[in-house]
Chain A
Amino acid sequence: EAEVAQSPRYKITEKSQAVAFWCDPISGHATLYWYRQILGQGPELLVQFQDESVVDDSQLPKDRFSAERLKGVDSTLKIQPAELGDSAMYLCASSLIGVAEAFFGQGTRLTVV
């Protein structure tokens, strides 16, 4: 069964270091989402791509976060420099154009120390 792949599953990094997460969506899914989820809360959208274009990054802290999806397939989310408050689960999801059902990866658990 097709699934959204994310790596790494877990990441521990020191404050002020750079960290990157990778996501490979389900084949053929043009829409890709990056979410951040703090324990006990619902996911918060960081950035949404349609193919290689960003359609919503209004909640992305652009001074330290960046995201790209150069060929409209896989995507990378980067944080530089990481702060203690960035510790959270980072989730990637994808969906087809015109169909809103979203499928999620297993997430990357980030701990900043």
Chain B
Amino acid sequence: KQEVTQIPAALSVPEGENLVLNCSFTDSAIYNLQWFRQDPGKGLTSLLLIQSSQREQTSGRLNASLDKSSGRSTLYIAASQPGDSATYLCAVSSGSDSNYQLIWGAGTKLIIKP
């Protein structure tokens, strides 16, 4: 059974620092991995999607890497800003063409201090 873990549960850093969020999964048979952002009381916004055949994806100040063999993904945020404060969740997708399942981590709550 696939399990997804995100450590730490919460992280507080000063503005301007580069930081890394971690996501680990127990079964390497995944289709892809997604990183999401969630602001308090809001829905989820997809940040980056990494296909199982890819090693990384970049969008602006965000870079996500995937190491399937070790069951790990990292989300790197460069030059953090107070607006980056949110909860970041990762989810792995597995299944067949007709029935994907997303398995979720519990998230890392990030606070960027001005």
Contacts and interface: CB of A to CB of B under 8 A. Distances in A.
Contacts of A102: 34, 46, 91, 102
A100 B43 contact: no
Contacts of A89: 41
B49 A42 contact: no
Interface string A43-80: 10100101000011000000000000000000000000
Contacts of B107: 40-42
A30 to B, nearest CB: 9
Interface in B72-112: 89, 91, 93, 95, 97-102, 104-107
B7 interface: no
Nearest to B40: A39
Nearest to A40: B106
B42 interface: yes
A100 B32 contact: yes
B39 to A, nearest CB: 10
Interface residues of B, number: 26
Contacts, number: 62
Interface string B31-66: 110101000011111100100000000000000000
A105 B32 contact: no
Instruction: Count chain B CB atoms within 10 A of each CB in A43, A55, A97, A109 and give the residue with the most.
Output: A43
Interface in B20-38: 31-32, 34, 36
A6 B43 CA distance: 10
A48 B99 CA distance: 9
A25 to B, nearest CB: 13
B43 A101 contact: no
Contacts of A56: 99, 101
Given A50-B99, A100-B95, 7 more contacts: A42-B104, A43-B44, A43-B89, A100-B32, A100-B93, A100-B102, A102-B34
Interface of A: 6, 31, 33, 40-43, 45, 48, 50, 55-56, 89, 91, 93, 95, 97-98, 100-107, 109
